[in-house]
Amino acid sequence: MKFAIVVFPGSNCDHDAYHVAKHVLGQQAEFVWHKDTSLRGADVVILPGGFSHGDYLRCGAIARFSPILDAVRAFADGGGPVLGICNGFQVLLEAGLLEGAMLRNRNLTFVCEHVHVRVETTDTPFTTRCTPHQVLEIPIAHGEGNFFAAPDVLDRLERNRQVVFRYVDADGTAIDAANPNGSARAVAGTCNARRNVVGLMPHPERACEGVLGSVDGLVLFESVVGALTAETL
Amino acid sequence: MKARVFVTLKPSVFDPQGATIAEALHSLGYDAVRDVRQGKYFELELNVSSADEAKTLADEIADRLLANPVIESYRIELVGAGAAVGEAP
């Protein structure tokens, strides 16, 4: 199974994602430069975290016009699993592959800490191995992760179970103090209507080995490997 | 011709930066300040021959890149020959 990790100028979590796919999971992994037009036969696409194009204008606003995004869109339209992490999530939002937008964090500070998120649906390729409402401890690191969508859009996302992750406390309760950035309805991650494109602000790739303090992020990557393996059996 | 593009958060969208600036102004004693909304300002130098053309082009650019229609709206002012003013929702 092959992971494609898209590299934008300013991506800085691309190597972490590559490391997890290649060395932790033992899968094939390949970097794809944002000016490329082909995903070279990848089975999974990851848009990594970082500061694409320096976050100029708006986070992800310029990256969405990169040539590789046409290939990512076609891959997603074909049902291929796409995971956007942090800046990758912002790129997916700007590209319209996911709904909503990001605002500056409510308290205007860059937040860099371990948080808890609750898995709200196991019905995506990246959460099939989670247990319903499983609480994961995963780090966040962002200045603009304050998820916004109009109330009617939020209602629709909730109704269609497109909210995939929500900020909660260690017990799995969504309280305001556990919401690190002011996100609407404590949304930490969403998926598209077809459920194959998932984006989240937390960094699961930074929580895949014990030495990093948490292995809770690994389940996302194991899920997609499991989902694709099951598909081909 | 020059087009000025003003991008602001929609009124329904909370502006954490604007709110912080308002708080700062209040702490400086500017009690008359009711609210602050922060936005972005762009100047586009355009090689076009008419105001209509400039307006159409600036609109397209603002729609595609300068503003995110999910959270922002924009206003365009043309500077130069027979300048007209346009506004988008």
A77-92 pLDDT per residue, tens: 999 999 999 999 999 9
State pTM to two decimals: 0.93
Nearest to B68 among A61, A150, A182 (CB): A61
Decide if A103 and B70 are in contact by the 8 Å CB cutoff: no
Question: In sequence order, what are the residues at sequence separation of 6 or more whose Cβ sits closer than 8 angstroms to the Cβ of residue A143?
Answer: A104, A105, A109, A110, A111
pLDDT band at A1 (very low <50, low <70, confident <90, very high): very high
A152-201 per-position pLDDT tens digit: 999 999 999 999 999 999 999 999 999 999 999 999 999 999 999 999 99
Mean pLDDT over each residue of chain A, to the nearest integer: 97
Q: Residue A232 has what pLDDT?
A: 72
DSSP-derived secondary structure for A164-190 = EEEEE-TTS---GGG-SS--GGGEEEE
> Do A40 and A4 meet the contact criterion of CB atoms below 8 Å apart?
yes
Decide if A103 and B13 are in contact by the 8 Å CB cutoff: yes
Q: Which amino acid is at A66?
A: S
Average pLDDT value for residue range A45-53: 97
Q: Residue B82 has what pLDDT?
A: 55
Q: Is the pLDDT of residue A10 over 80?
A: yes
Q: For this complex, say whether ipTM is above 0.90.
A: no
Distance from CA of B70 to the nearest CA of A (A): 6
Average pLDDT value for residue range A111-132: 97
Decide if B16 and A182 are in contact by the 8 Å CB cutoff: yes
Domain count across chain B: 1
- Tell whether B65 is within 8 A of chain A (Cβ): yes
Decide if A100 and B70 are in contact by the 8 Å CB cutoff: yes
Decide if A57 and B71 are in contact by the 8 Å CB cutoff: no
Task: Map out the domains of chain A as residue ranges.
Answer: 2-232
Q: Residue A125 has what pLDDT?
A: 98
Q: Which residue, among B42, B36, B44, has the nearest Cα to B9 in the 3D structure?
A: B36
Nearest to B16 among A101, A103, A150 (CB): A103
Distance from CA of A106 to the nearest CA of B (A): 6
List, for chain B, all residue ranges whose pLDDT scores fall below the cut of 50: none
- Strand residue runs (E) in chain A: 2-7, 28-33, 44-47, 82-85, 101-103, 111-119, 135-142, 146-148, 163-168, 187-191, 197-200
For an interface test with B, the pick among A93, A94, A98, A104 (most B C-beta atoms closer than 10 Å) comes out as A104
CATH number of B75's domain: 3.30.1280.10
Q: Is the pLDDT of residue A69 over 60?
A: yes
Q: How many residues does chain B have?
A: 89
Catalogue the active-site residues of A: 86, 203, 205
pLDDT band at A119 (very low <50, low <70, confident <90, very high): very high
Q: Is the pLDDT of residue A49 over 70?
A: yes
Chain A nearest-CA residue for B11 = A150
CATH class as words, domain A2-232: alpha beta
Q: Which residue, among A120, A140, A143, A105, has the nearest Cα to A214 in the 3D structure?
A: A140
Nearest to B17 among A94, A108, A148 (CB): A108
